[in-house]
Structure 1
């Protein structure tokens, strides 16, 4: 195997050698040291030769056919000081990367001579982008989340100031989530995969396929206007300046799951290891027709019921297995060469992960406050909770770019991410709801088998052009098509209760529809078509300062289809259940057990266990959303130190959602919004900025929220009803920030923000419905305000002996407040007279803190990073009646990653995650006492891996 790999690498190297034709290449980019922007049309020459080139629309240059040796490279551009880089070494068949920053010219132009240096790290590039941005922006680079050992975009984003995660995949910015966070992929909007949410599941994106993640916390008119917390942009890997090949592999051990022979699992298909079901869990062909209602005399209908009942497999409960080790692998290949005589770059990447998680020490409880002045909450259910989860993630990325000439470039980006999660759960415990049985003897058992497959496919075609005839105006355009899919095939539930009476045990399956053994099939398909164009024109204004105007248009079309089919098992009176699932589904008990010709049948068809179609047309819906936008803005330096970016965006929204139940009013939203923005940046010094900004943005309801039907969760949650009359929310955003960049890659900042929400969309109680179901509606007003602090600095300012240590920490302190509706407040105060009239926004934490300490020794090739993350208690579920809301409790998360370079091409890495192994707790609090809704531990994970890289 090693010989084959060596041969492949040698072949690739031979190909590269042919391309270079026994010579070397110098490639790089020219940027402004003042603005960080690329310099288009600048001149780069090798001194003493005729070999030179002009920079293209990216500020990049390419000097080819250079004989091996050491050279001086000179860069010059009108109104900038020329710069000469000495000691630039060119080697045979290799690319030398040289990035140069030019400073603005002084009165007397003079040449600056510097020594040749390597390409800046991506972390430094990100900090420079942050420094020169027109908005309050934070982010994390590939270098940073490689140091932290983060495997996907969700984990990496937790290192960013003011960001926390819900459910390990949903991003909250400044305590705001879901509808208040917008996510884009290389600038194109992408749909989410959860039918009940407005945001993207960030764990879909493997970190090894990403260049950086940025979070814009203030709005400019060239951004979509539907965010308030943050606009997250996922930037995938771009093609490199020279040939690179990388392969990584690792294995991991979880101290609760790995090699545990009691790991809960279920039946699997042949392609589960690739993250999708191969049809094992599909609805059998025999059920392509509607299952008829139970018939006792019609032979054709009875035979259909019998055939449908026997068509499904009868695995309705978890089984035990031994969980293997976690493992992950990735591969990427990239280069820059020529195609049809034009400069061509490409990168191709693959990633694969398979992880196992298990707990058997969990707790699940349902509690209720049912009387005024009660000493505590009444326990409705209290269960032991056991769960096993196998997760597979497969990612593919390809990016191709062709420079037609120095002023025109087109690129194509193709992405496919696939994931599968196979979850098996068992609940066991007291069940006071069993009629006629005292609480201490009633036992409830529930089993759930849940497979979810998610897929995101994206094709993005982009163009960038410089119009030399129009004062160097730049035009960029994008056409992106994205298909997102979430399928839940054969979601199975089997529940029963029993009690012991002396030596006898009595088992029972409740006859209510939502407690019968059931199988659910859900499919969500959503397409996004995103088209946009931007035109940017530079202008020279007073004092020789350069301003820019920018205007553009965008159109987004979303189409969603959601389908749900439900099949339930019923049984006739007198059919006994003895506690065994296998006996319940024994062949002799399924379908028809007696026919009219049988003596004991009484001349009718009789059934044991038989299948019933419980699907509801109401729960199926189609949705369409179109947003058309246009904007204009100006980037205006009023003085050499004061920069103002201002303008406005107009968005036209047309949204329509219709249930299959035509008697329900469809949900519609038709709105025209004008969204102004002004952001000012004052450069106190060359390394210090003061920012202030105001903007108006909005938040729209998602498809599910305006789909006017009622659906039920399966474990403990009340019913949820959509609202066809929802309005969009408008938000006024105020931001200030002081930021300091002491040295390259270092950063210190203090920020303050205030947000005022009109018509925020909140979950509340529908007092007109039975069982106090959760209802979605607009409330009058909400407010969020807070402070943020961030430090990213080398510790050499303490002592020169600490030069290899880098500390990164950030803290967000946030306060939110939303008014409780009068009708809901009346219900709450009926049992809690002193209850507050306001509550925090759903999912909002009062604080979020991150800290990391890195030791980096380049001479030893050694990097070690310790990470710490914690957030404050936040509402995770709104309770009905006067029962206190459920809060997700604060917990500390810590990890350690150590990597060591081995030779020129290999790097070894070891890591440990979840060092403290805290309990994940959701609970009520009443009269100073905590009541557990859910609690479990995930275990510690230890991993070791190796990376091979040619660069």
Structure 2
């Protein structure tokens, strides 16, 4: 009791003191990004050492202030610094919300190369935490840390995303190209490959990227042709007083360098990746082909050169203009050798080769951005992007060819050059019409041209009696030259109006209603022509040099009648044309029901019309096929904030999957080991999607999340082998239903901070996915709905390309060396388990790709504020890439090779 009496005066004094104190609280609002909260802004009381930083909600607080007059200084790198006079009274709380606006004169060039707010890992985690949508973001800071140089490699570093071995196809939660979509700044991008729906993401250098978003959960503002995910690339929006960067690099592949003095490529394609040759004049009446069949030798040393520049200007009292441009070129060489074969259900060889591939690729990128801020309420942006990519492959296949070279004495030589050129023009606007109304619009024009000029293939066999190789000819197509051209144009438009709903007690809007329109008009023109060499009977016994076939295939021998040149329908190419029109209207409601519960509900209507016309060797008369669909697509996303660091999210939606032009055109595309043909009877699938996600953010830089997901698909589409003498592959609605379910886990953790400034720390990241896919297979359904006959080996299967288990892990050490010098080292590992490559038919087993792991090491060192050196080693473990056929008696390896390791050294200089 005595103790209590002694303590009462002190308690009473404390209460009186607290009542005489004052507080200042408020929020920093980012006017540059749709009035979102500005995290990590600095607030200082002038003339004192008292300061604080805004939290992830943009809020700041000063407690225990004495009554009086204060000057608060608000600052953030790249934004105008503001000073406000504040008078506070005892026992009162003064609330001040401050609008922060970008200041071009105050921006520093270091922003573009280190951690701008939008692209830093911490800022992107903040965006992920605050958003109602369920999405993942990966920014340029994280890409740099993991040594990623292209967008395809970038998205595979995120949870549940993988890349099919030996191709550029991206799989999201086990669903491949047809189920995914790609956009840049929210506008669609057309494909550069007639085989695919999506453009190859590896042609996009990360030099153009601010960050990448992967939407795995559908919402009504996204195209309804969606089931796996939408990859949206946000291009760099530079803000700074000026920067210029020059970079150089070199690349060496361990496999390619072993062939340093005998690295062979085809003649014709230029090292720059820009070539202009095509179908020769009158090739049926003379051997007028421009390029030699003899290989040329190159030194397999790759390189890279890049330029970046940016500057911001003040215009008037409120305006600013941000300009940014980048240009770059890189190339690289690859070499591989190993098994490539096809076998029957009994294991008998159909084709069995030792394959050797020499490859060379280039990528040229140019981008220009202009972002004009008229004032705080009106903004315009123009984006231009040009990408030219080329890929050259010289393949030799030695071994068994049924009916041609059954003594393992066959030889097929195939040289392929592909050049793709993409042009993108985008114009975007954002307008705040009033405190409640916002109007956003965007329009784009995309043009892509894909060329495959002068693909050559020759079939030979070794004859002991002749002590050399002679031409082999089972069909006239065994020796040919092939030309292919694709041109696709697409116009797209996005319009949306949003209206903010009533405010809560703190003056914050409780939500908004969005009404919008999306339109896409796409047109594709595709043509191909193949010139086949019919070699006269006696000449099939003439010995030839495989490395100098021009000694036989030339104008003189053509005039002498030693061979003829033939083509389908003379010089008239095979063609198919595609037109697709999609008009979509959508409405969504974003609403915060309570302080913790938020939701987005939406409905989307799409009117789809797709027409494909063709004139090919399968149908010389020329026909067309059209389907029309009206799709109603509801969606809902719920977010519940369990506490200040944890969220629980739920997403549900209905979507659909369109077949692509090439899949519906009655056109044959021939490769060495497979032939693909379109199916005019193909039709869209319907998809039902469900996601449940829990996430926790222990610190600004840390994340732990667990996601469960499921998808139910009606009339899934697959590639299958038809019951035909040539085992053609086509695209078929193979069954009534299929489903996918699985779980994902992701965490990012700072393991050690060796000092409080976090200038010497060790951090780790990990994400993994486990999934199961299942689909019913119905041969009778295929026969009833198409003109094709097939007998699927199994009644059920997993989805093609889907791996049960995916894993990415990285360990990063960062050290600030002082005087603008630092060092960062990252060890990154990824693993993809077995996946189904193709369905088995006619008692043949499925083709399955074996699981594979990859280990990379990245070292980045900033010597000072101007110079930096990077060293990267990719694919250090160099595992074998293998595919096997699941026959009843045993699994038979049908593909096996190693890519080798790649060493990259880079130097950067920045003014």
CA distance in 2 between partners of 1:944 and 1:368 (Å): 46
Pairing of 1:230-629 with structure 2 (within 5 A): 230-258=229-257, 260-269=260-269, 272-279=270-277, 282-287=278-283, 291=284, 305=285, 308-309=286-287, 311-313=288-290, 315-323=292-300, 325-339=301-315, 342-359=319-336, 361-370=337-346, 377-434=347-404, 439=406, 441-468=407-434, 471-501=435-465, 507-515=470-478, 517-540=479-502, 546-575=510-539, 576-581=541-546, 585-586=550-551, 590=555, 607-614=561-568, 619-629=574-584
> Post-superposition shift, 1:403?
1.8
- Sort the Cα spacing of 1:638 and 1:723 in 2 relative to 1 into closer, same or farther, 3 A: same
Aligned equivalent of 2:612: 657
CA distance in 2 between partners of 1:864 and 1:74 (Å): 29
Instruction: Supply the RMSD in Å over aligned alpha carbons.
Output: 3.7
Aligned equivalent of 1:146: 144
Pairing of 1:666-681 with structure 2 (within 5 A): 666-681=624-639
Cα deviation 1:609-643 (Å, max 9, x = unaligned)? 23222468684111000000001111111111000
Work out whether residues 468 and 544 of structure 2, in 8 Å CA contact, stay in contact via their aligned partners in 1: no
- Sort the Cα spacing of 1:730 and 1:583 in 2 relative to 1 into closer, same or farther, 3 A: closer
Determine whether 1:646 maps to 2:604: no
CA distance in 2 between partners of 1:183 and 1:678 (Å): 22
Aligned equivalent of 1:185: 184
Among 712, 716, 731, the residue aligned to 1:776 = 731
Work out whether residues 95 and 242 of structure 1, in 8 Å CA contact, stay in contact via their aligned partners in 2: no
Work out whether residues 29 and 97 of structure 2, in 8 Å CA contact, stay in contact via their aligned partners in 1: no
> Structure 2, unaligned stretches of length 5 or more?
1-26, 63-69, 84-90, 99-105, 784-789
> Post-superposition shift, 1:72?
9.5
Among 921, 925, 936, the residue aligned to 2:886 = 925
Work out whether residues 442 and 499 of structure 1, in 8 Å CA contact, stay in contact via their aligned partners in 2: no
Aligned equivalent of 2:701: 745
CA distance in 1 between partners of 2:449 and 2:906 (Å): 32
> Post-superposition shift, 1:876?
1.9
- Sort the Cα spacing of 1:407 and 1:46 in 2 relative to 1 into closer, same or farther, 3 A: farther
CA distance in 2 between partners of 1:255 and 1:943 (Å): 11
CA distance in 2 between partners of 1:168 and 1:858 (Å): 39
Work out whether residues 590 and 608 of structure 1, in 8 Å CA contact, stay in contact via their aligned partners in 2: no
> Post-superposition shift, 1:427?
1.2
Aligned equivalent of 2:898: 937
CA distance in 1 between partners of 2:709 and 2:132 (Å): 16
CA distance in 1 between partners of 2:422 and 2:299 (Å): 31
- 2:670 is paired with a residue whose SS is coil
Cα deviation 1:715-771 (Å, max 9, x = unaligned)? 111x3332222221110100000001111121110000010001212223444x554
Q: TM-score, normalised by structure 2?
A: 0.84
Work out whether residues 221 and 632 of structure 1, in 8 Å CA contact, stay in contact via their aligned partners in 2: yes
Among 699, 712, 725, the residue aligned to 2:681 = 725
> Across the two proteins, how many residue pairs are aligned to each other?
831
Cα deviation 1:758-791 (Å, max 9, x = unaligned)? 1212223444x55453332222111001000001
CA distance in 2 between partners of 1:844 and 1:642 (Å): 35
> Post-superposition shift, 1:74?
12
CA distance in 1 between partners of 2:791 and 2:778 (Å): 15
Work out whether residues 794 and 803 of structure 1, in 8 Å CA contact, stay in contact via their aligned partners in 2: no
Work out whether residues 794 and 806 of structure 1, in 8 Å CA contact, stay in contact via their aligned partners in 2: yes
- Sort the Cα spacing of 1:918 and 1:928 in 2 relative to 1 into closer, same or farther, 3 A: farther
- Sort the Cα spacing of 1:413 and 1:812 in 2 relative to 1 into closer, same or farther, 3 A: same
Work out whether residues 760 and 815 of structure 2, in 8 Å CA contact, stay in contact via their aligned partners in 1: no
Cα deviation 1:518-546 (Å, max 9, x = unaligned)? 11000011111111111111112565652
- Sort the Cα spacing of 1:706 and 1:500 in 2 relative to 1 into closer, same or farther, 3 A: same
Work out whether residues 267 and 291 of structure 2, in 8 Å CA contact, stay in contact via their aligned partners in 1: no
Work out whether residues 484 and 526 of structure 1, in 8 Å CA contact, stay in contact via their aligned partners in 2: yes
- Sort the Cα spacing of 1:98 and 1:836 in 2 relative to 1 into closer, same or farther, 3 A: farther
Aligned equivalent of 1:714: 671
> Post-superposition shift, 1:193?
1.2
> Post-superposition shift, 1:664?
5.3
CA distance in 2 between partners of 1:248 and 1:631 (Å): 45
- 1:908 is paired with a residue whose SS is strand
> Structure 1, unaligned stretches of length 5 or more?
1-28, 50-69, 101-105, 292-304, 371-376, 595-605, 827-831
- 1:522 is paired with a residue whose SS is strand
- Sort the Cα spacing of 1:589 and 1:765 in 2 relative to 1 into closer, same or farther, 3 A: closer
Determine whether 1:755 maps to 2:711: yes
Q: TM-score, normalised by structure 1?
A: 0.81
> Post-superposition shift, 1:507?
3.0
CA distance in 2 between partners of 1:534 and 1:793 (Å): 39
Work out whether residues 267 and 294 of structure 2, in 8 Å CA contact, stay in contact via their aligned partners in 1: no
- Sort the Cα spacing of 1:168 and 1:777 in 2 relative to 1 into closer, same or farther, 3 A: closer
Work out whether residues 429 and 445 of structure 1, in 8 Å CA contact, stay in contact via their aligned partners in 2: yes
- Sort the Cα spacing of 1:546 and 1:511 in 2 relative to 1 into closer, same or farther, 3 A: same
Deviates more, 1:408-417 or 1:897-906: 897-906
Pairing of 1:879-894 with structure 2 (within 5 A): 879-894=840-855
- Sort the Cα spacing of 1:896 and 1:579 in 2 relative to 1 into closer, same or farther, 3 A: same
Work out whether residues 81 and 110 of structure 1, in 8 Å CA contact, stay in contact via their aligned partners in 2: no
- Sort the Cα spacing of 1:444 and 1:352 in 2 relative to 1 into closer, same or farther, 3 A: same
- Sort the Cα spacing of 1:96 and 1:680 in 2 relative to 1 into closer, same or farther, 3 A: closer
Work out whether residues 794 and 807 of structure 1, in 8 Å CA contact, stay in contact via their aligned partners in 2: yes
Cα deviation 1:227-261 (Å, max 9, x = unaligned)? 11111101111122432222222112211113711
Cα deviation 1:9-31 (Å, max 9, x = unaligned)? xxxxxxxxxxxxxxxxxxxx954
CA distance in 2 between partners of 1:327 and 1:85 (Å): 55
- Sort the Cα spacing of 1:85 and 1:203 in 2 relative to 1 into closer, same or farther, 3 A: farther
Work out whether residues 648 and 693 of structure 2, in 8 Å CA contact, stay in contact via their aligned partners in 1: yes
Aligned equivalent of 1:14: none
- Sort the Cα spacing of 1:945 and 1:85 in 2 relative to 1 into closer, same or farther, 3 A: farther
Pairing of 1:80-99 with structure 2 (within 5 A): none
> Post-superposition shift, 1:405?
2.3
Cα deviation 1:678-699 (Å, max 9, x = unaligned)? 1000000111100011101111
Cα deviation 1:322-364 (Å, max 9, x = unaligned)? 32x22112211112113577411111011211101112x3211
> Post-superposition shift, 1:859?
4.2
> Post-superposition shift, 1:852?
0.5
- 2:501 is paired with a residue whose SS is strand
Cα deviation 1:416-436 (Å, max 9, x = unaligned)? 00011121111112334337x
Cα deviation 1:162-212 (Å, max 9, x = unaligned)? 111124522111111111111001111011111111122001100121111
Aligned equivalent of 1:131: 129
Cα deviation 1:278-305 (Å, max 9, x = unaligned)? 32xx222344xxx3xxxxxxxxxxxxx2
Aligned equivalent of 1:822: 779
CA distance in 1 between partners of 2:375 and 2:428 (Å): 15
